[in-house]
Amino acid sequence: MRLQKSRPNARKSLSRVQTRSSKKRWKGIDAKRDSVSPSSKPEPDAGSQTPSRQSNFQRDRFWGEAFEFALLDWFHRAGYIYAHKVDPRPGGDYDLFVPELQKRFECKFDRMSRLTGNFAVEIGKGIAKPTGITTSAAHIYVYGDGEKAWFFPKYELWMYCVEHGQIRWGGDGREFLMWVIPCDEVIEALQPRTIDLKVRKKS
């Protein structure tokens, strides 16, 4: 069973992606950052480490882990019995590894996408520190909204964001830069593998 269409770009190795295209990609990112200067970033509140922010972080972490386990269960039921979660690593390299496919998966649970109609793709903490898709070692980015999940080849998603994404501040404290892309448009353009995957609270 294949999780993605056979495309030349998707077949490129991670090392080739990072070495041959990194300058081009960051050039595209820098060009779009002109309208998102440090001065336009909202100043953090004096009480940034508030219980509210901590509760938001805990909630997002809870739903993120629930999504990972739901996806892992789907892999097991599909016959990929050796699929497993990866221990947390500095920088969050990736979340799941499926030995049968020799693929690494990054799991992104985006409940707000059902309300906003957009996916958020993290690219950096502030302007100087790359994070998210720019540092992830995953082959596949899996986005879920609680009802469905989409398997995007990371390289194709990255290139789509460079050309079509709008850069915005987001995350807790609005300290992260991210691309915002309309869900319907990126799904239509990249035609990712789509599955039904309900994510619910544990009883």
Strands 103-109 and 140-144: parallel
Tell me which amino acid residue 158 is: W
Q: Is the dihedral of CA 88, 92, 95, 100 positive or negative?
A: negative
* Assigned domain for 102 exists: yes
Give per-residue pLDDT as tens, 100-159: 999 999 999 998 899 999 999 999 998 889 999 999 999 999 999 999 999 999 999 999
* For residues 171-180, average pLDDT: 87
Contact 85, 95 (CB under 8 A): yes
In a domain, 23, yes or no: no
β-sheet bridge partners, residue 84: 97
Domain that holds residue 186: 28-35+50-196
What's the pLDDT tens digit per position in 24-77?
444 444 545 444 544 455 444 434 444 455 567 688 788 899 999 999 999 999
**What pLDDT sits at residue 196?**
97
Does any domain span residue 18?
A: no
Would you say residue 6 has pLDDT above 70?
Answer: no
CA 54-148-133 angle, to 5 degrees, is 60
CATH number of 166's domain: 3.40.1350
Whether pTM exceeds 0.85: no
Q: Looking at the domain assignment, is residue 21 inside a domain? A: no
